[in-house]
Structure 1
Amino acid sequence: MLPLDEALARLLAAVQPLGRSEMLLTAEALGRVLSQDVVSLLDVPPADNSAMDGYAFCAADVREPGTVLPVAQRVPAGVVGAAHLPGTAARIFTGAQVPVGADTVLMQEQCEAVPGEGLGAVRFLSVPELGNAIRRRGEDVERGATVLSVGSRLDPAGLGLAASVGAAQLKVARRPRVALFSTGDELVMPGEPLRPGAIYNSNRFTLRGLLQGLGCEVLDLGIVPDRLDATRAALRDAAAQADLIITSGGVSVGEEDHLRPAVQAEGQLELWQIAIKPGKPLAFGSVRRNHDGGSAWFIGLPGNPVASLVTFCLLVRPVILRLQGATRLHPRAYALRADFNWPRADRRQEFLRARLNEAGGLDLFANQSSGVLSSAVWGDGLVDNPSGRSIAPGDTVRFLPFSELLS
């Protein structure tokens, strides 16, 4: 059996970024991968501004609590005030540009308004440090800085950062086109009668959701009958439209398993046994496109729901990110305490469904069968347990959160 790391290395060596890009409005680029650096053409903030509502003044004019200064001007956000007059204060609000000549701001809770002519005066109840509560020009981003690099996958914070430097549009990788279909005469769709011997097609929904979460254009080709001719026709249809074809189940050698001979007839196929649990079987290859002489990649996942989910997260997710040119392909992992006992070591690398508890440790779902999809809904992620290792309460384990794996 192939170790997981070797199998993933083979996949990533085989596929290359698609290299197709498009311009999108920044507001529409969530989850997409940048094809061009975002470089700031301005300082952020563009000028010194107040971090809070209060009063701006010269620190040299306020040397002791109780000092009173006349208020010379009022500076709301979006307004550029007049140059600061020594011996005065300016009423200022959060985000407003600090008047030229003022060097300190004190929050309004530490000040007391004194009624009088004009804007009155202000009494300072404390003495702040020089430069207090001022956000300096360029302290977030300096002009000319690369704020987001090629290969970055855009999250909400990234979109906000791009907008903060004035990027109205972003150049991003086009969505990979991924064809998805299921094989099996036993499969029916939710809403249809569940005849004897049939099961509802859960993998179709899980895999479609995973693909959409990764920014793919999903071509859902439905359920293919258990016939060789129908399977070959489905593969040809998928290859004509897609960059990648994903299936689950049906790559065994049984009389009703037609995917293996179908892919071999329409392209090429490798069957791998991967040393992980759940998810040992994986098919990888390509299907020819008749119209242009090219081919679409093919990955066949195991049929059991949790095995299909786990192998997608560990092996297919990095492939899809690579097709988009992403630079970070692997999920973040965390070292956490096991609050469970797992005494039976396995010769395969195990991925156990676990949940964070209030004490900061991990609890294990009772049934770790590859067919129990409820374990993935209950859990917060996977414990990555090396081959041959048992786990005792208090041991430190490697944890892969679903927040990393499912998007």
Structure 2
Amino acid sequence: MAPLKAAILIVSTTAANDPSTDAAEAALRTVFDHDGGGRWDVTEAKIVADVTADIQRQILLWTDNADPVNLVLTTGGTGFAVADHTPEAVSVLLHKQAPGLVHAMLASSLAVTPFAMMSRPVAGVRNRSVVITLPGSPKGARENLQAVIKTLPHACQQAAGADSRSLHAGGTKKLEQDAGLGSPAQQQPPHTLTHHHHSHHAHHVCTHGHSHGHAPLVRHTQPLSNDPSLGPTRRQRASPYPMLPVSDALALIRQHTPSPAVTACKVSPSLTGLVLAEDVRAPEPVPAFRASIVDGYAVVVPPGGDMRGVYPVVTVSHAAPLGGGPDAGGGGGGGGGDDSRSTLKMGEIARITTGAPLPGGATSVIMVEDTRLVSMTEDEKEEKEVEILAQGVKEGENIREVGSDVEKGALILRKGERVSAVGGEVGLLASVGVREVKAYRPPVVGVLSTGDEIVEHDREGGLRLGEVRDTNRPGLIAAARDWGYEVVDLGIAKDQAGSLEEVLRDALRRVDLVITTGGVSMGELDLLKPTIERALGGTIHFGRVAMKPGKPTTFATVPVKNDAGERVPKVIFSLPGNPASALVTFHLFVLPSLRQMSGIDPPELPRVPVALAHDFPLDKARPEYHRAVVSVGTDGVLSATSTGGQRSSKVGSMKGANALLCMPSGAEPLRKGSKVEALLMGPLHSGV
């Protein structure tokens, strides 16, 4: 059996500044080595300061990925000191509580000292990982881990999805025997327990339920959102969702965005913008016959290449199929007979047009500019004799050989290549006779506005007190369509839980990705998060982002049955209600998800370095995505000019913008000429 993976997180501002002061990691590794029964591999250890966001970020990196660790241990920050935040930081991340593990650690410590009651342990499960908080002292951390380590393999296997029936075969006695444990009466507390036990996150962990496959389906995550049924007095006063950096939010979007769907598409201009889902090889060569690349005369070059002289014109070859039908052989008739069957002899020439097939035996083509008409036929409609003025002629001149442009079987387009609007890819496919290709189907987008105060933007008459015209829906629909996506207008949903649930259920049956605006803050009528988690059974992957504008941006997936009866994930982006925030977060978060579902890699908008054309103010607390116009000057330098006031409600700040400037937080402005990164939303402007 492969070893279980464990990760250790040292929570200590002191150790973060000077890692040499930490002794807890070594103490815990010793427990794994001596008491772990050879079943553990400590794959990572990190140190973070006593900062809630840093603690949460590192745990999410270990637990929220395709290959999570089985066990996360934190040590430190679990006491009563002002800076001790670890239990609170961890508890909101857990999907299941494990009070049994907490009890075992406390009971073991209390057998040594009454001061163990001052410990605040937390244990539980997030996704497929067990998470336990331990005291900051090396002895306390070691002894708490010793109290539970022999039962942890069983807990981790269950959390990772192992079959409970198989795990519990043989009953409790066998479980105890496999873990190297006696009965509770026979167990002794660890021999080196200490009274210094300030630790442990007191929330969700894996319980030891003996489900044997007969229980009803249950959800695997616990909602963090408000329960609307409890009323405003019981709602949370601060968001339970960790504040993630933009980079972490984008990583979660990449991880949880569904894979692109493959579809068969006819080769036509409608392929523009699609990404190929397979390699494409040429089923036939281009050209398919030896063809002239000029208007002139096909000849048989004599030794030495001196073609000067007068020659009879014995045949004509036009760039048209023989007989004009689709099944006619290559070569055109006229004036000289069937050139597809005739063989040109030395001393004869054939008039030929650009792209026409060469008569048999021809070895070169002389341009018409290197000839002179000598005589015509009696009806004066055809050339009879032509003088050639060229010498030093070589075989193969002015001829496109079979497959010289594209060989049969050649790889012409690769999987993952995008069909551009320039037309080259469609033209290439058409040239080799490809009629159909496999491509990734672009997702269908639904756009929904929410709020009792929202009215249609084009409603006649003035606004009543409290009413707001819907600017988000038209703006987002326009943006999504401009990027090439089919959009379904989902209208406006009122702030009523049941109504919102029905609208979203209907939308998720019709589209691949839903964009909502409004209802994602902490008000009593902000129902998006509770509806997604509690009514739709969805998972909110992040609910807050450290940025301006757009802090409450929410990304979630909801399982929905497809036509085959299989549950597939559908995506919901709940964007802030302020218009500028909605458009900024669309380009920053929603568009990468749409592009990833379309097979585009990389999915994010292109980033370019730009110079600031003037001083830019900074937000003191959060990085800001400043709306700007980026122009290229005559010197080739890219410069950025602000669109003006950047208030999140000011949709005019997006007017004319072709870029989002990635501005850091800071107390002082960034001065003119400073370099920053810009996310390009549109084509560059030309400077003066």
Q: What TM-score, normalized to structure 2?
A: 0.50
Q: Give the CA deviation at 1:41.
A: 1.0
Q: 2: distance between equivalents of 1:364 and 1:342? A: 9
What is aligned with 1:2? 244
Q: Give the CA deviation at 1:179.
A: 3.0
SS at the partner of 1:185?
coil
- The residue type paired with residue 265 of structure 2 is L
- The residue type paired with residue 555 of structure 2 is F
Alignment check: 8 A CA contact 1:239 1:288 kept:
no
Alignment check: 8 A CA contact 2:579 2:651 kept:
yes
What is aligned with 1:382? 659
What is aligned with 2:407? 142
SS at the partner of 2:249?
helix
Query: Could you give the per-residue CA deviations for residues 312-358 of structure 1, whole angstroms, max 9, x where no partner exists?
Result: 223222222333444452444455x6471244355525354214356
Q: 1:383 to 1:138 in 2, by over 3 A?
A: farther
Q: 2: distance between equivalents of 1:72 and 1:349? A: 77
SS at the partner of 2:375?
coil
Query: Could you give the per-residue CA deviations for residues 218-274 of structure 1, whole angstroms, max 9, x where no partner exists?
Result: 332210112233222222222344432211222111233222222232233244433
* Partner of residue 448 from structure 2, selected from 178, 181, 186: 181
Counting only pairs closer than 5 Å after superposition, residues 139-288 of structure 1 correspond to structure 2 as 139-155=404-420, 156-193=423-460, 194-196=462-464, 197-212=466-481, 216-266=485-535, 267=537, 268-288=539-559
Alignment check: 8 A CA contact 2:447 2:488 kept:
yes
Alignment check: 8 A CA contact 2:245 2:547 kept:
yes
What is aligned with 2:278? 36
What is aligned with 2:573? 299
Q: 1:30 to 1:290 in 2, by over 3 A?
A: closer
Q: Give the CA deviation at 1:285.
A: 1.4
Name which structure has the greater RCO, CA cutoff 8 Å, separation 6+: 1
What is aligned with 1:367? 644
Q: Give the CA deviation at 1:213.
A: 5.0
Alignment check: 8 A CA contact 1:276 1:351 kept:
no
Q: 2: distance between equivalents of 1:171 and 1:60? A: 50
Which shows bigger deviation, 367-376 or 257-266?
A: 367-376
Q: 2: distance between equivalents of 1:103 and 1:115? A: 23
Q: 1:331 to 1:102 in 2, by over 3 A?
A: farther
Query: Could you give the per-residue CA deviations for residues 270-313 of structure 1, whole angstroms, max 9, x where no partner exists?
Result: 44433444444320113354896655322112333343233222
Q: 2: distance between equivalents of 1:262 and 1:69? A: 87
Q: 2: distance between equivalents of 1:195 and 1:365? A: 31
Q: 2: distance between equivalents of 1:342 and 1:126? A: 70
What is aligned with 1:24? 265
* Partner of residue 96 from structure 1, selected from 347, 356, 359: 356
Which shows bigger deviation, 158-167 or 29-38?
A: 29-38
Which shows bigger deviation, 351-360 or 387-396?
A: 387-396
What is aligned with 1:121? 386
Q: Give the CA deviation at 1:181.
A: 1.0
**CA RMSD in angstroms, aligned pairs only:** 3.8
Q: 1:223 to 1:396 in 2, by over 3 A?
A: closer
Q: 2: distance between equivalents of 1:48 and 1:368? A: 65
- The residue type paired with residue 137 of structure 1 is V
Q: 2: distance between equivalents of 1:40 and 1:144? A: 5
Q: Give the CA deviation at 1:167.
A: 1.8
Q: 1:271 to 1:141 in 2, by over 3 A?
A: same
Q: 1:229 to 1:85 in 2, by over 3 A?
A: same
Identity, % of aligned pairs?
A: 30
SS at the partner of 2:553?
strand
Q: 1:258 to 1:166 in 2, by over 3 A?
A: same
Alignment check: 8 A CA contact 1:48 1:97 kept:
yes
Alignment check: 8 A CA contact 1:340 1:362 kept:
yes
* Partner of residue 353 from structure 1, selected from 628, 637, 652: 628
Alignment check: 8 A CA contact 1:22 1:172 kept:
yes
Q: 2: distance between equivalents of 1:331 and 1:87? A: 64
Alignment check: 8 A CA contact 2:612 2:671 kept:
no
Instruction: Tell me how many residue pairs correspond in the alignment.
Output: 400
Q: 1:177 to 1:88 in 2, by over 3 A?
A: same
Alignment check: 8 A CA contact 1:32 1:215 kept:
no
Which shows bigger deviation, 137-146 or 61-70?
A: 61-70
SS at the partner of 1:402?
coil
Q: Give the CA deviation at 1:398.
A: 4.8
Alignment check: 8 A CA contact 1:179 1:246 kept:
yes
Q: Give the CA deviation at 1:144.
A: 1.4
Query: Could you give the per-residue CA deviations for residues 343-375 of structure 1, whole angstroms, max 9, x where no partner exists?
Result: 435552535421435625445244152455455
Q: 1:396 to 1:67 in 2, by over 3 A?
A: farther
Counting only pairs closer than 5 Å after superposition, residues 62-73 of structure 1 correspond to structure 2 as 71-73=313-315
Q: 1: distance between equivalents of 2:541 and 2:484? A: 27
Q: 2: distance between equivalents of 1:157 and 1:257? A: 49
Q: 1: distance between equivalents of 2:304 and 2:608? A: 50
Alignment check: 8 A CA contact 1:61 1:86 kept:
no
Query: Could you give the per-residue CA deviations for residues 114-153 of structure 1, whole angstroms, max 9, x where no partner exists?
Result: 2413524255589888755444432332211232333443
Q: 1:366 to 1:220 in 2, by over 3 A?
A: closer
Which shows bigger deviation, 222-231 or 284-293?
A: 284-293
* Partner of residue 680 from structure 2, selected from 391, 400, 404: 400
Q: What TM-score, normalized to structure 1?
A: 0.80
Alignment check: 8 A CA contact 2:250 2:589 kept:
yes
Higher normalized strand content (fraction of residues): 1
Q: 2: distance between equivalents of 1:239 and 1:339? A: 43
Alignment check: 8 A CA contact 2:252 2:541 kept:
no
Q: 1:313 to 1:142 in 2, by over 3 A?
A: farther
Alignment check: 8 A CA contact 2:292 2:398 kept:
yes
Alignment check: 8 A CA contact 1:353 1:368 kept:
no
Q: 1:195 to 1:43 in 2, by over 3 A?
A: same
Q: 1:115 to 1:188 in 2, by over 3 A?
A: farther
Q: 2: distance between equivalents of 1:372 and 1:128? A: 72
What is aligned with 2:613? 340
Q: Give the CA deviation at 1:42.
A: 0.9
Alignment check: 8 A CA contact 1:207 1:309 kept:
yes
- The residue type paired with residue 43 of structure 1 is P
What is aligned with 1:318? 592
Q: 1:303 to 1:111 in 2, by over 3 A?
A: farther
